[in-house]
């Protein structure tokens, strides 16, 4: 019985430690924080959902080729405290977003700044 109790306690400790590691992915490890990239285009998707808000947009390069970019932000709860709502961005809105590019070279970033076509900069809640 003591052996079973010890095993159970060890299992619980391992599960609790493992769960904190699972939350560690909510950082910028997938992004090159020594570089910044800026893209401008029209919003194709705005997911105001947990765990991270996602903005997708079509961006034309210098040759006119359209590439779909995706940017991640902090949680909706955090952004709501800075004034964001699920209506902040609409499909077709032209925006400029800047942030840390993906280390893989994929058209993806961890957003640090979002600017509307009007020039208004939206508060991103400190990025992370």
pLDDT tens readout for residues 37-65: 999 999 999 999 999 999 999 999 889 99
CATH number of the domain at 89, please. Answer: 2.40.50.1010
CA gap 116, 124 in Å, rounded: 13
A 10 A CB-CB count for 67 gives 12
* pLDDT beyond 90 at 13: no
Find the mean pLDDT for residues 12-18.
Answer: 49
* pLDDT beyond 50 at 24: no
Domain count, the chain: 1
Give pLDDT, residue 64.
93
Whether residue 59 contacts residue 42, with contact meaning beta carbons closer than 8 Å, is answered with: no
Please give the sequence-ordered ranges of beta strands (E in DSSP) within the chain, or none if there are none.
37-47, 54-60, 66-72, 94-101, 108-116, 121-122
**Is 117 a domain residue?**
yes
């Amino acid at each position: 019985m003591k052996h079973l109790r010890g095993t159970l306690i060890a299992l619980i400790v391992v599960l609790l430690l493992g769960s904190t590691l699972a939350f560690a992915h909510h950082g910028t490890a997938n992004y090159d924080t020594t570089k910044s990239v800026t893209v401008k285009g029209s919003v194709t998707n705005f997911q105001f959902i947990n765990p991270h808000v996602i903005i997708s947009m079509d961006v034309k390069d210098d040759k006119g080729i359209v590439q779909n970019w995706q940017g991640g932000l902090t949680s909706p709860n955090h952004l709501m405290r800075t004034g964001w709502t699920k209506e902040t961005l609409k499909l077709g809105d032209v925006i400029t977003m800047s942030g840390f590019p993906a280390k893989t070279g994929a058209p993806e970033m961890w957003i640090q700044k979002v600017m509307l076509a009007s020039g208004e900069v939206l508060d991103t809640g400190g990025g992370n």
